[in-house]
Amino acid sequence: METGKRPQTIEQRQKQVITRLKNENYELRKKVAVLEEENRLLKLKLEKAFLLIEELQRMVFGKGKNKQDKNDKDDDHFTGSGQTKKIDRDPASYRREDPKEEEVTNEEYHYKSNCPHCQAELTALKHLEFFTEDILPPAEWFKVLKRLTRHWITTGYCTNCLRRIAPVEIPKQKTTLGENVRQLIVFQFTVQQLSYSQIIDFSEGVLHLKLSQGEIANILESQAVKLEPGYLAIQESIRQAEAVHLDETGWPTLQGKQGNFDWAACGINTEDVLYSIGQSRGKGNVKRILGENFTGIGVTDDYGAYKNAFVAGNHALCWSHPYRKIRDLKNSATLTVVKQEHCQKVAAEFRALYEKVRQINARPFVREEREKEAKELTKLFDKFIRPHPNDPEKLRQIKSRLTEQKEYYFVCLLKPNIPPDNNKAERALRHLVIKRKKSFGSKTQKGADILSIIYSVVMSFWRISKRNFFASYSQALKPLAFSQ
């Protein structure tokens, strides 16, 4: 009697194999899908990492001239890079300007009656003139610039007040530094960006005047006390402005209590600049600088601290910031050929859009025309920010930010006298960025506060008029100079 299962047919065995292979194939497809997704994510992360490394290299080492696209140089004038497009110049523009008659301080006469070669008498004499602009020999500067004044003071005792009266304030030390050299030290420290040691070397080598680091620190502090009314006047000017540029940058403060950043605020229609050094990067700084009741327009980059810091409809975003990011992206060597070509096309589109905004902004403000033009440009803007399969992750993020903040980019067209960029604030900070690289920031919060006052007053006067700087600065040091 036969027992057990019946033997499988060939057809049955083939079906089992097919089923097993289908299951294996299904599992492999799932595994491939997972691996492909992992590979896609790894590529995105790698692309993001390479772009970040490339960005850090630019920050640390700068952008090599040979790596800069030739088309990038054409738009330096509206990205705030500080470079300008070379233009054709008249040959006369390379010559020094002829001085005015009242500017001539010395005259020298040069006469020759005989030929130096054959000693024959010269005829057909012509009279010519030329000018030499020069200064006194540096070796003799101290003879002219340095003044040492002996003061004789007669004091008397008042029997009514029971105190000794002096005609002038008697200093604590017998020999002190005068007001003029104090102003020079402030000028060298701020405008010329000299360090303490450089100021000391200049004073001793050129002026024959010995200084110490402690004296320089005390001078900066005492000057800041006198300049505080001027600082408050600039602050009030900024708060009353129709519109204000704002920007921030790093400023290390070793023993600071607030933070490691420097803020700059500039009025749209004035050269006043207000610095707030040694502060945090939080949004509370905007209210502290501009005051609680500021109703003007703020021109900024898209940093989150500026969000909701202004009255609705009064926040204008800078076009230069996204353009610079897109421009750097198109020049990236870490992208694939396909993505790089796509980014180059995207950069050209945004550049054309930005240029149209600049051209419209430069024309006289007519509300009806501006609203119509802004509506047309909004359509181009919407087309630009649409996602594309070849967008690198960084470009997706840029487009996403532009989408979220679209309305802020057209405030410069819908409001009169509002520039499309924040270059003015960036230029105001550039001076302090260079100073930071030399001095590495401030040691204490008190030192940062002193710099806030001095830099605000000094750089405001310097931006207004370089030739009248010292006259304006001297006036600012006088009591009640800003009382009116």
Do residues 298 and 316 lie in contact, with contact meaning Cβ atoms separated by under 8 Å?
A: yes
pTM of the predicted protein model: 0.78
Q: What is the pLDDT of residue 484?
A: 44
Domain boundaries, given as residue ranges, for the chain: 241-426
Closest by Cα among 240, 378, 248, 232 to 306: 248
Q: What is the pLDDT of residue 143?
A: 84
Strands 297-300, 243-250: parallel, antiparallel or unpaired by DSSP?
parallel
Q: Give the tokens for residue 27.
A: 């599992």
Q: Give the tokens for residue 314.
A: 């009064």
Alpha helices (H) along 405-444? 411-414, 423-439
Residues in the chain: 484
Low-confidence ranges of the chain (pLDDT < 70): 1-5, 59, 62-88, 480-484
Strands (E), 231-312: 243-250, 253-255, 261-267, 273-279, 297-300
Q: What is the pLDDT of residue 81?
A: 55
Q: What is the pLDDT of residue 282?
A: 85
Do residues 412 and 233 lie in contact, with contact meaning Cβ atoms separated by under 8 Å?
A: no
> Residue 447: which H helix or E strand, with range?
helix 445-464
CA 476 to chain centre: 26
How far apart CA 314 and CA 364 sit, in angstroms, is 20
SS3 244: strand
